[in-house]
Structure 1
Amino acid sequence: MAPPARYGPPAYSIPQRYMHREPPPEGADSNTRPYIIFFSYLLTCFLVTIFILLKLIRRASVLQKSTTARLPPKKHVWLFGGLAVGSLLSTWTQMFQYFRISYHQWLMWRSYYELEPHMRHWGLWLKETSLFREAWETVIVGNARYWWSHQIFFFALGLGLYLEQKGLPRGIRYTWAFMLLGQIVAISFATNLFLLTLLLSPPAPPSAPSGTRGHKWLGPWLLNLLAIFATAYPAMQLADEHYWYHPTHFMPMLLAPHIALMVLPVVRALVPPGYFEDDIQIADRIYNYLWVLVFANGGLMLGWTTVTAYAYSGVAGIVNAVFEHPAVGSVGFDVVFCWTTWICWKRTQTKPTRTEVSMHADEPSTEFVRDGRDTFVGAGAYGDGIRRR
C-alpha cells in the first residue's frame, strides 16, 4: 500500500465534493442548520461534563460528612483528577487544531471560485464538511495510524464493562453519561471521571446470601456480550484496506460500536430499576469472563496491527503517525492517557489485608451514607442507591 498523504490517504485527503467544485450559493447564506448541529454538539459536551462533575462534587460532600465511610487517599484523587485534566487538554487541543485545518483545507479548494468575504463563513464550511466522518477516515486509514485508533475501540469496551461491574453496585446509575462523554469528548477523560466517582463512592456492602434461590444467569450483561462482538468485529474489519477505500461500507462498521456501547447505559437510564433482577455475585463472575473475551480480542488485534505497522514503517513510523494530523493526534493522546489511567488504577487498588477485613467485620454496616436530612446515598445493590425516610 502506498504511504498515506500528510493529512490523509490519497482517496480521502481531498473530499470528492471538493473535486466537483460546485458553485457556492448566491448571497450570504445563514446556514442555520449546520451552526445548530455544530454548537449543539459542543454544548452537549459541556453539559454532560458539568452533569458528571456536579454528581461527583455531591458524592464527595456526602462522603466527607460520613462518620463510617473511609475517605480515599487524597493523592489518588489528585492523580486521577490530573489525568482527567491532562486528557481533556491534550485531546481537545488537537481537536480544535483539526477544526482549523479542516476549515483552511475547505477554503483552499473553495478559493477556486474566488469566494467573497461574506461567503467564507463557518456555516458554509460546516454545511459542506462532515467533520466526524472525515476525522475517522483520516484516523483509521493507514497501518501506523490504525495501530493507534483501533485501541480506542477496546478501551471504550473496557469502560462499558467497568461501568456495569463496578459502577452499579455503588449506586452509580447514570452510566449513560460516562459512555456518552467518552464517545463525544474522549474515552480517557470519561474513564478518569468515572474512576474518580468510584473513589468518592461508599464501598459496596457484603451481598446477602441468596439462600435456596437459584442463580439467574440471564441478565443485562447479555447486552454487553453483544456489545463486545459489535465492537471487536468492526475493529478487525476496519483494518482491511477494503474499508479504507469504500466509504459506503466504512460508516456502518464505524457506527456499530458507537451504538452498541450506548444500548445498555440508555436502557438503564430509561427502564425503572425494579425491572432488572441482578444477581451481584453471578454478574461479577460473568463480567470476569467477559473481561477475558475483551483481553483476548484486544490482544489479538494489538499483536496483528503491531506486526503490520512495524513491517510497514517501523517503530518510528508508528510514533510519528501521532503527529501527522491533529485528528490522529487526538486519538493517539486518548490512547496514551487510557493506558496511563488503567495502569495507575491497577497500582492504586490494593486488596485489604485479613486484619482490615476482620476490623471492618466488627464495625456497623456502612451501606448508606447520610446526605442531607432525609436522604441517604447508598452503595449497595443495583438500585438507585438512594433511600428516603
Structure 2
Amino acid sequence: MSKVIALTIFASYFLFIFYLFGLILKDFFRTTSRTISANKVSVFTALTIVSFGHTWFYMFKFMSWSFSDYERTSLHAEAKSLLNRISSWLVDTKLFEQAWAAVSFGSMNWWWSEQLCLFTGGFWTVFVFHESRRYGIKNAWSYMLLGQVVAISVAANLFHLAILLSPQYSKPKPGGAGLAPSILWIPVLCSLLNVFISPFTNDVTFLPNLLTMHAVLMLPLLLPPARDLFSISYSSLYSTILVSAAVMRLKTTYLAISDDNFLSFLASAFETLHSHPAQSSIGYDIVWTTISFAAWARFGIKHEASVFSLVSAPIVSVGVIAPYVMRLTAGREQSFITAVP
C-alpha cells in the first residue's frame, strides 16, 4: 500500500506542475495588452523555455542519481521489476529533503543556495504581491507555488510575461504610493529569519525550518489583502530586505572565501556548482533568475541601474541587487506622486 501511495504522490507532483502551467498560461490568452511589445515578449518567452530546460535537465539528473544511489544500497534490486524498484526508491527516499540537504550544508554550497532563498523569501514575494495588484494579475499564488515546485527563474519569467500581457501594462496603478500590509511584510521577515537560521540547523531542525521558509511565503498571496495600522511603504520594505540580504551575503561570502584568494574562490564556486546535480539545478536556477531580473530592469521597468550593480549580481547576489533597484524605483514613483498637486 505504501508503494502505491508513493507512486501516486510522485505522479501527482508532475500533474500538479501541469495544472499550474495551465492555470497561468490560460490567463495569458484571456488578457492581452494592446500595447504589447513583441520583442519583450520574445525575450521573456525564450528565457522561460531555456531556464526550464536547463534547470530541469539537472533535476532529472538528480532523480536519476538518487535512484542509482538507492539501488547500490538496496538488496536484491535486480530481482524486482522496474516499477517495484521505483516504488521502493520513492518509499525509502525523501527526495525533497535529500535535494535540499545536498545544497544547504557546506559553506560554498550554501553560498549558492542562499542566493535563491534570499531572492524568493525577500524581494520576489513582495514583487509578486505588489505588481499583481498594480497590473491586475490573477492567481498570483500560482507563480509562487510554481517557483517552489519547478524553478524560481521559470516562474519569474512567466510573471514578467504576465505583466507585459496585462491590459493595464501601459497604465498600471501607482506603485510607489501604495502601502505594504502586515500580512505581507511579517511573513517576508519571518522567511528571511528562516534563511538566516538555515546554516545553523541540524538533522532534526533542518526540514521544519525549510518547510516554514516555503510555507509562510504563500500566506500573503492566499489571504485577502487589507490595509492596517501596521502597513509600511514599499520603499521601506525593500530597504529592509536590502539591508537584511546584504548582511547575510557578507557573512556567507566571508565564510566561503575563508583563507582562499578571490580567484580560488571563483574556481571553488564553479566546481561546487557542478559537484552534485541538485546543486547544479539550484545554482543554475539562480543564474537564470539573475539574467531574468537584469532583463526586466532593462526592458520591463527601464531602470537606470548602474552597469556595476547588474554586473556584480553574480557575486553580490540578485537577492541584494533586486531590492536595491526596486527600492529606487518605488522611491522615484513616490516622489513623483507627492510632487503632483
1:131-210 correspondence runs (5 A): 131-157=95-121, 158-201=123-166, 202-203=168-169, 205=171
1:354 aligned residue? none
- Asked whether 1:228 is paired with 2:188, we answer yes
1:5 aligned residue? none
- Asked whether 1:31 is paired with 2:3, we answer yes
- Counterpart Cα distance in 1 of 2:251 and 2:178: 37
- Counterpart Cα distance in 1 of 2:206 and 2:63: 22
Tell me, what secondary structure is at the counterpart of 1:203? coil
2:204 alignment partner, one of 240, 248, 253: 248
1:207 CA drift (Å): 6.3
Unaligned runs of at least 5 residues, structure 1:
1-28, 65-70, 209-214, 269-275, 352-389
Tell me, what secondary structure is at the counterpart of 2:5? helix
Q: Which amino acid aligns with 1:311?
A: S
1:126 aligned residue? 90
- Asked whether 1:297 is paired with 2:244, we answer yes
- Counterpart Cα distance in 1 of 2:94 and 2:193: 25
- Counterpart Cα distance in 1 of 2:39 and 2:91: 46
1:4 aligned residue? none
1:51 alignment partner, one of 23, 33, 46: 23
1:1-389 correspondence runs (5 A): 31-60=3-32, 63-64=33-34, 71-111=35-75, 113=76, 115-118=78-81, 121-157=85-121, 158-201=123-166, 202-203=168-169, 205=171, 221-240=181-200, 243=201, 246-268=202-224, 276-277=225-226, 286-311=233-258, 314-348=265-299, 349-350=301-302
CA spacing shift, 1:115–1:193, aligned 2, 3 Å:
same
1:277 CA drift (Å): 4.7
Q: Which has the higher mean CA deviation after the structures are superposed, 333-342 or 312-321? A: 312-321
For the Cα contact (< 8 Å) 1:176–1:266, is it kept in 2?
Answer: yes
1:118 CA drift (Å): 3.0
- Counterpart Cα distance in 2 of 1:114 and 1:199: 51
CA spacing shift, 1:173–1:57, aligned 2, 3 Å:
closer
- Counterpart Cα distance in 1 of 2:226 and 2:77: 64
- Counterpart Cα distance in 2 of 1:231 and 1:347: 28
1:164 CA drift (Å): 1.8
Q: Which amino acid aligns with 1:300?
A: V
1:150 CA drift (Å): 0.7
CA spacing shift, 1:98–1:114, aligned 2, 3 Å:
closer
The alignment's TM-score, normalised by the length of structure 2, stands at: 0.79
1:230 CA drift (Å): 1.6
- Counterpart Cα distance in 1 of 2:292 and 2:163: 14
For the Cα contact (< 8 Å) 2:178–2:233, is it kept in 1?
Answer: no
1:124 CA drift (Å): 0.7
For the Cα contact (< 8 Å) 2:71–2:77, is it kept in 1?
Answer: no
Higher alpha-carbon Rg: 1
Unaligned runs of at least 5 residues, structure 2:
304-341
Q: Which amino acid aligns with 2:252?
A: T
The alignment's TM-score, normalised by the length of structure 1, stands at: 0.70
1:361 aligned residue? none
Tell me, what secondary structure is at the counterpart of 2:258? helix
For the Cα contact (< 8 Å) 2:125–2:188, is it kept in 1?
Answer: no
* 1:212-268 superposed Cα distances (whole Å, 9 cap, x missing partner): xxx997xx721221122221112112123xx2xx21111111111101100121214
- Counterpart Cα distance in 2 of 1:329 and 1:323: 5
For the Cα contact (< 8 Å) 1:224–1:264, is it kept in 2?
Answer: yes
- Counterpart Cα distance in 1 of 2:77 and 2:253: 45
